[in-house]
Amino acid sequence: MTIILFFGMGASTLKSQDTNNPKPLAVVLHELEANFDVQFNFLEATVEGVQVLPPNTSFNLTESLEYLRSSTGLVFTLLDSNFVSVTQKNVFTICGYLLDKDTQEPLESATIQGNSRSAITNTDGYFELSLTSSEEIITIRYLGYKTIQRSSNYFKKEGCHPIFMLPQASDLGAVILSNYLIDGISKLNDGSFELDISKFTILPGLIEPDVLQTVQAFPGIQSVNETVSNINIRGGTHDQNLILWDDIKMYQSGHFFGLISVFNPQITQKVSLQKNGT
Protein backbone atom coordinates (compact mmCIF):
# COMPACT_ATOMS: atom_id res chain seq x y z
CA MET A 1 0.00 0.00 0.00
CA THR A 2 2.90 2.34 0.69
CA ILE A 3 4.42 1.79 -2.77
CA ILE A 4 1.12 2.43 -4.52
CA LEU A 5 0.56 5.68 -2.59
CA PHE A 6 4.06 6.92 -3.42
CA PHE A 7 3.59 6.11 -7.10
CA GLY A 8 0.30 7.99 -7.18
CA MET A 9 1.86 11.09 -5.65
CA GLY A 10 4.71 10.97 -8.16
CA ALA A 11 2.31 10.72 -11.07
CA SER A 12 0.30 13.68 -9.78
CA THR A 13 3.49 15.75 -9.46
CA LEU A 14 4.59 14.92 -12.99
CA LYS A 15 1.20 15.85 -14.36
CA SER A 16 1.24 19.18 -12.53
CA GLN A 17 4.71 19.98 -13.83
CA ASP A 18 3.70 19.07 -17.37
CA THR A 19 0.65 21.36 -17.15
CA ASN A 20 2.84 24.30 -16.13
CA ASN A 21 5.18 23.92 -19.10
CA PRO A 22 4.40 25.64 -22.43
CA LYS A 23 3.52 23.33 -25.32
CA PRO A 24 3.40 23.90 -29.06
CA LEU A 25 0.02 25.31 -30.02
CA ALA A 26 -0.57 22.47 -32.50
CA VAL A 27 -0.23 19.92 -29.66
CA VAL A 28 -2.66 21.87 -27.45
CA LEU A 29 -5.19 22.05 -30.28
CA HIS A 30 -5.03 18.28 -30.81
CA GLU A 31 -5.67 17.76 -27.09
CA LEU A 32 -8.70 20.05 -27.26
CA GLU A 33 -9.98 18.15 -30.29
CA ALA A 34 -9.96 14.97 -28.23
CA ASN A 35 -11.55 16.61 -25.19
CA PHE A 36 -14.39 18.50 -26.90
CA ASP A 37 -14.91 16.47 -30.11
CA VAL A 38 -14.14 19.40 -32.41
CA GLN A 39 -11.81 19.94 -35.34
CA PHE A 40 -9.42 22.90 -35.69
CA ASN A 41 -8.67 24.17 -39.18
CA PHE A 42 -5.43 26.16 -39.54
CA LEU A 43 -2.35 26.62 -41.67
CA GLU A 44 0.90 25.22 -40.39
CA ALA A 45 2.53 28.64 -40.82
CA THR A 46 -0.09 30.18 -38.53
CA VAL A 47 0.75 28.04 -35.49
CA GLU A 48 4.41 27.37 -36.27
CA GLY A 49 6.68 28.41 -33.40
CA VAL A 50 3.79 29.38 -31.10
CA GLN A 51 4.14 28.07 -27.53
CA VAL A 52 1.33 28.28 -24.99
CA LEU A 53 0.34 26.88 -21.61
CA PRO A 54 -2.58 24.43 -21.93
CA PRO A 55 -5.90 25.87 -20.75
CA ASN A 56 -7.31 24.83 -17.40
CA THR A 57 -9.01 21.44 -17.51
CA SER A 58 -12.11 22.99 -15.90
CA PHE A 59 -12.65 25.32 -18.88
CA ASN A 60 -15.36 24.58 -21.40
CA LEU A 61 -14.79 25.00 -25.12
CA THR A 62 -15.74 28.71 -25.22
CA GLU A 63 -13.53 29.54 -22.25
CA SER A 64 -10.63 27.55 -23.74
CA LEU A 65 -10.89 29.42 -27.06
CA GLU A 66 -10.98 32.78 -25.26
CA TYR A 67 -7.91 31.80 -23.23
CA LEU A 68 -5.98 30.80 -26.36
CA ARG A 69 -7.02 34.01 -28.13
CA SER A 70 -5.68 36.19 -25.31
CA SER A 71 -2.49 34.11 -24.98
CA THR A 72 -1.55 33.85 -28.65
CA GLY A 73 -3.16 36.85 -30.31
CA LEU A 74 -4.72 34.58 -32.94
CA VAL A 75 -8.37 34.59 -33.98
CA PHE A 76 -10.41 31.48 -33.04
CA THR A 77 -13.76 31.39 -34.86
CA LEU A 78 -16.33 28.71 -34.00
CA LEU A 79 -17.86 27.96 -37.40
CA ASP A 80 -20.39 25.46 -36.05
CA SER A 81 -20.53 22.99 -33.20
CA ASN A 82 -17.67 20.85 -34.60
CA PHE A 83 -15.30 23.17 -36.51
CA VAL A 84 -13.03 25.96 -35.27
CA SER A 85 -11.05 28.21 -37.63
CA VAL A 86 -7.66 29.52 -36.47
CA THR A 87 -6.36 32.60 -38.36
CA GLN A 88 -4.07 35.53 -37.83
CA LYS A 89 -5.38 39.03 -37.16
CA ASN A 90 -5.71 41.25 -40.20
CA VAL A 91 -2.66 43.45 -39.57
CA PHE A 92 -1.82 46.21 -42.02
CA THR A 93 0.65 49.09 -41.93
CA ILE A 94 0.11 52.77 -42.63
CA CYS A 95 2.92 55.24 -43.25
CA GLY A 96 3.49 58.85 -44.16
CA TYR A 97 5.61 61.98 -43.88
CA LEU A 98 4.68 64.79 -41.48
CA LEU A 99 5.51 68.23 -42.89
CA ASP A 100 4.95 71.84 -41.90
CA LYS A 101 2.31 73.23 -44.24
CA ASP A 102 4.00 76.63 -44.57
CA THR A 103 7.71 75.74 -44.72
CA GLN A 104 7.44 72.13 -46.03
CA GLU A 105 10.02 71.14 -43.39
CA PRO A 106 9.78 67.65 -41.80
CA LEU A 107 8.49 67.43 -38.24
CA GLU A 108 10.69 65.20 -36.09
CA SER A 109 9.51 63.35 -32.94
CA ALA A 110 5.80 63.84 -33.62
CA THR A 111 3.51 61.25 -32.00
CA ILE A 112 1.16 59.05 -34.03
CA GLN A 113 -1.24 57.20 -31.71
CA GLY A 114 -3.65 54.37 -32.54
CA ASN A 115 -5.93 52.40 -30.25
CA SER A 116 -3.18 50.17 -28.88
CA ARG A 117 0.01 51.13 -30.74
CA SER A 118 1.97 54.29 -31.36
CA ALA A 119 4.90 55.55 -33.42
CA ILE A 120 7.25 58.57 -33.55
CA THR A 121 8.47 60.33 -36.68
CA ASN A 122 12.17 60.29 -37.52
CA THR A 123 14.36 63.17 -38.74
CA ASP A 124 12.65 63.04 -42.15
CA GLY A 125 9.18 63.16 -40.61
CA TYR A 126 8.57 59.55 -41.66
CA PHE A 127 6.51 57.08 -39.60
CA GLU A 128 5.06 53.59 -39.81
CA LEU A 129 2.21 52.23 -37.69
CA SER A 130 0.77 48.70 -37.68
CA LEU A 131 -3.00 48.45 -37.19
CA THR A 132 -5.44 45.60 -36.70
CA SER A 133 -8.65 47.42 -37.61
CA SER A 134 -9.61 49.63 -40.53
CA GLU A 135 -11.87 51.65 -38.22
CA GLU A 136 -9.19 52.85 -35.80
CA ILE A 137 -8.90 56.58 -35.08
CA ILE A 138 -5.35 57.82 -35.59
CA THR A 139 -4.27 60.87 -33.56
CA ILE A 140 -1.25 62.93 -34.68
CA ARG A 141 0.25 65.35 -32.15
CA TYR A 142 3.19 67.74 -32.33
CA LEU A 143 4.03 70.58 -29.97
CA GLY A 144 3.03 73.93 -31.43
CA TYR A 145 0.78 72.42 -34.12
CA LYS A 146 -2.92 71.61 -34.35
CA THR A 147 -3.76 68.01 -33.45
CA ILE A 148 -5.00 65.85 -36.34
CA GLN A 149 -7.45 62.97 -35.96
CA ARG A 150 -8.13 60.71 -38.92
CA SER A 151 -9.68 57.29 -39.49
CA SER A 152 -7.24 54.63 -40.63
CA ASN A 153 -9.18 54.52 -43.92
CA TYR A 154 -7.88 58.05 -44.61
CA PHE A 155 -4.37 56.70 -45.18
CA LYS A 156 -3.70 55.20 -48.57
CA LYS A 157 -2.79 51.54 -48.51
CA GLU A 158 -0.13 51.95 -51.22
CA GLY A 159 2.75 54.36 -50.87
CA CYS A 160 3.64 56.85 -48.14
CA HIS A 161 2.23 60.31 -48.75
CA PRO A 162 2.87 63.63 -47.00
CA ILE A 163 0.61 64.87 -44.21
CA PHE A 164 0.66 68.60 -43.56
CA MET A 165 0.24 70.10 -40.09
CA LEU A 166 -0.81 73.68 -39.33
CA PRO A 167 1.03 75.73 -36.68
CA GLN A 168 -1.12 76.69 -33.70
CA ALA A 169 -0.53 79.98 -31.90
CA SER A 170 -1.47 80.15 -28.23
CA ASP A 171 -2.49 83.38 -26.54
CA LEU A 172 -0.87 83.72 -23.14
CA GLY A 173 -2.69 85.44 -20.34
CA ALA A 174 -1.45 88.61 -18.68
CA VAL A 175 1.25 88.23 -16.03
CA ILE A 176 0.71 90.36 -12.94
CA LEU A 177 3.58 90.86 -10.49
CA SER A 178 2.16 91.12 -7.01
CA ASN A 179 5.48 91.18 -5.17
CA TYR A 180 9.22 91.32 -5.72
CA LEU A 181 11.98 89.02 -4.60
CA ILE A 182 13.76 91.94 -2.93
CA ASP A 183 12.06 94.92 -1.28
CA GLY A 184 13.30 98.47 -1.61
CA ILE A 185 13.95 98.52 -5.37
CA SER A 186 11.73 100.78 -7.50
CA LYS A 187 11.74 101.83 -11.15
CA LEU A 188 10.85 105.48 -11.69
CA ASN A 189 9.02 107.05 -14.64
CA ASP A 190 12.26 108.48 -16.09
CA GLY A 191 13.70 104.95 -16.43
CA SER A 192 16.04 105.17 -13.47
CA PHE A 193 16.09 102.80 -10.52
CA GLU A 194 15.94 103.76 -6.88
CA LEU A 195 17.10 101.65 -3.94
CA ASP A 196 15.61 102.41 -0.54
CA ILE A 197 18.19 101.12 1.92
CA SER A 198 15.73 101.16 4.83
CA LYS A 199 13.65 98.49 3.04
CA PHE A 200 16.55 96.82 1.27
CA THR A 201 17.29 93.16 2.06
CA ILE A 202 20.07 90.71 1.26
CA LEU A 203 20.20 89.17 -2.20
CA PRO A 204 20.36 85.36 -2.45
CA GLY A 205 23.99 84.22 -2.27
CA LEU A 206 25.24 87.25 -0.31
CA ILE A 207 26.07 87.40 3.38
CA GLU A 208 25.35 91.14 3.76
CA PRO A 209 23.71 93.93 1.70
CA ASP A 210 25.96 95.54 -0.88
CA VAL A 211 25.02 98.43 -3.18
CA LEU A 212 27.34 97.69 -6.11
CA GLN A 213 26.69 93.95 -5.92
CA THR A 214 22.96 94.62 -6.03
CA VAL A 215 23.03 96.83 -9.12
CA GLN A 216 24.74 93.98 -11.02
CA ALA A 217 21.44 92.11 -10.80
CA PHE A 218 19.82 94.68 -13.13
CA PRO A 219 19.72 93.99 -16.90
CA GLY A 220 22.71 95.35 -18.79
CA ILE A 221 24.96 95.67 -15.75
CA GLN A 222 27.71 93.22 -14.89
CA SER A 223 31.33 92.91 -13.87
CA VAL A 224 33.52 91.36 -16.54
CA ASN A 225 36.31 90.61 -14.05
CA GLU A 226 33.85 89.39 -11.39
CA THR A 227 34.77 92.08 -8.87
CA VAL A 228 32.35 94.02 -6.70
CA SER A 229 33.32 97.57 -7.57
CA ASN A 230 34.37 97.41 -11.23
CA ILE A 231 30.99 97.27 -12.95
CA ASN A 232 30.29 97.53 -16.68
CA ILE A 233 27.05 99.18 -17.82
CA ARG A 234 25.75 98.35 -21.31
CA GLY A 235 29.15 97.14 -22.49
CA GLY A 236 31.07 100.19 -21.28
CA THR A 237 34.17 100.18 -19.11
CA HIS A 238 34.35 100.96 -15.42
CA ASP A 239 36.10 104.33 -15.92
CA GLN A 240 33.16 105.51 -18.05
CA ASN A 241 30.78 105.33 -15.08
CA LEU A 242 29.94 108.43 -13.05
CA ILE A 243 29.55 107.59 -9.35
CA LEU A 244 28.43 110.37 -7.03
CA TRP A 245 28.42 110.18 -3.21
CA ASP A 246 26.36 113.12 -1.92
CA ASP A 247 27.11 114.84 -5.27
CA ILE A 248 30.86 114.18 -4.83
CA LYS A 249 32.63 112.30 -7.64
CA MET A 250 34.04 108.96 -6.53
CA TYR A 251 37.11 107.83 -8.46
CA GLN A 252 37.65 104.70 -6.36
CA SER A 253 34.61 102.57 -5.56
CA GLY A 254 36.29 99.59 -3.93
CA HIS A 255 38.95 98.32 -1.53
CA PHE A 256 41.23 95.29 -1.59
CA PHE A 257 41.54 95.13 -5.39
CA GLY A 258 37.84 95.74 -5.90
CA LEU A 259 36.64 92.87 -3.74
CA ILE A 260 35.11 95.11 -1.07
CA SER A 261 32.76 98.01 -1.78
CA VAL A 262 33.49 101.40 -0.23
CA PHE A 263 29.81 102.18 0.23
CA ASN A 264 28.48 101.12 3.60
CA PRO A 265 24.79 100.25 3.25
CA GLN A 266 24.23 100.93 6.93
CA ILE A 267 24.86 104.68 6.52
CA THR A 268 23.43 105.00 3.00
CA GLN A 269 19.82 106.16 2.75
CA LYS A 270 19.03 106.11 -0.95
CA VAL A 271 20.74 104.98 -4.15
CA SER A 272 19.73 106.17 -7.64
CA LEU A 273 20.85 104.34 -10.78
CA GLN A 274 20.61 105.71 -14.32
CA LYS A 275 21.76 103.41 -17.12
CA ASN A 276 20.94 105.81 -19.98
CA GLY A 277 22.42 109.00 -18.61
CA THR A 278 24.16 111.47 -20.96
5 assigned to some structural domain: no
Domain final position from 130, 165, 200: 165
Please give the full DSSP string across 148-173, using - where no structure is assigned: EEEEGGGS-SSS-EEEEE-B---PPP
Residues 70 and 147 in one domain: no
- Is the residue at 11 inside a domain? no
> Residue 48 maps to which CATH number?
3.55.50.30
The model's pLDDT over 162-203, given as tens digits with 9 standing for 90+, comes to 999 999 988 888 887 766 556 667 777 777 777 776 666 666
Does 123 have pLDDT greater than 90? yes
Q: What is the pLDDT of residues 148-158, one digit of tens each?
A: 998 888 876 66
Residue 3, domain member (yes or no): no
Residue 107 inside a domain? The answer is yes
Q: Are residues 62 and 102 in the same domain?
A: no
Pair (96, 82) in one structural domain: no
Over residues 1-21, mean pLDDT: 45
Domain coverage including residue 80:
22-87
Q: Indicate whether 67 pLDDT > 60.
A: yes
pLDDT at 277: 62
Is residue 5 predicted with pLDDT exceeding 50?
no
Task: State whether the Cα torsion 72-77-78-82 is positive or negative.
Answer: negative
DSSP state of 222: E
CB 233 within 8 A of CB 221: yes
Average pLDDT, the chain: 78
- pLDDT for 157 equals 64
pLDDT at 94: 86
Choosing from 106, 140, 165, the residue where a domain stops is 165
Identify which of 209, 273, 268 has the alpha carbon closest to the alpha carbon of residue 241. 273
Q: How far is residue 220's CA from residue 234's CA, in Å, rounded to a whole number?
A: 5
- Asked whether the predicted pLDDT for residue 61 surpasses 50, the reply is yes
Whether 223 shows a pLDDT value over 70: the answer reads yes
Instruction: Answer for the pair 36, 61: CB distance below 8 angstroms, yes or no.
Output: yes
Verify that 190 and 269 share a domain, yes or no: yes
Of 42, 64, 87, which one is at a domain's C-terminal end?
87
| Residue 40 and residue 33 in contact, taking contact as beta carbons nearer than 8 Å | yes
Mean of pLDDT values over 56-78: 88
Dihedral of CA atoms 91, 42, 63, 80 in degrees, nearest 10, equals 110
DSSP 8-state class, residue 240: G
